[in-house]
Amino acid sequence: MTTFDARPQAATGTRPPGWLSPILVEGRAGACDAVFPFHQRTALEPACVAMARRFVDQTLGSWGALELAFDTQLVVSELVTNAMRHGGGAAQLRLVSHEAQLACVVTDHSRTVPVTSAPDVFSEYGRGLRLVDALCTTWGWLSPGGSSKLVWAVIAG
């Protein structure tokens, strides 16, 4: 039997943690900061999810944080898939580490806000943001201007 978490939707007005805000809003670089740009031709192809997972493995391996790889891969897979399905394609994946926290930030080509769908055990889709909410300490989105948005999620290490 499948059960669903009844917590309120995390994305409604959630603000990034204090350490992450200047990185997202002002474009500052973090101490451990890695960026993977998606090519426009492949931003809507399922292969970009596998590329994102490989980037997570390589980056976390170089940072000595492989213990976070599995959860981070799941979160990144969901965020990139949502960018493909609902955001006009993934533009960029960014990983930022700060003390014992890791932020995953996916930029897409739409200002449409992410919405957690109502639980339905018979639905083929719609559980991604619930998975992100379960694995992360917090998540949300920002619309920095133009026709894009940043969806971010923070994983505790």
- Which residues are paired to 147 by β-bridges? none
Query: pTM of the full predicted structure?
Result: 0.86
Q: Residue 12 corresponds to which amino acid?
A: T
Q: Other CB atoms closer than 10 Å to residue 124's CB: what's the count? A: 6
d(CA 32, CA 130): 27
What is the CB-side half-sphere exposure of residue 119 using CA atoms within 13 A?
11
Output phi, psi for 4, to 5 deg: -120, 150
Instruction: Look at the alpha carbons of 106, 56, 132, 138 in this order and tell me if their dihedral is positive or negative.
Output: negative
Residue 2: helix, strand or coil by DSSP?
coil
The predicted structure's pLDDT at residue 46: 81
Instruction: Give residue-wise pLDDT tens across range 1-56.
Output: 333 333 333 333 588 999 999 999 888 888 899 999 998 767 678 889 999 999 99
Per-residue pLDDT tens over the stretch 63-119: 999 999 999 999 999 999 999 988 889 999 999 999 999 999 999 999 988 888 777
Using the structure block, give the residue that is written with the tokens 């170089």: 62
pLDDT per residue as tens digits for the range 2-16: 333 333 333 335 889
Burial of residue 134 (number of CB atoms within 10 Å: 0-12, 13-18, 19+): middle
Q: What share of the chain is helix, strand, coil (3-state, %, to 5)?
A: 30, 25, 40
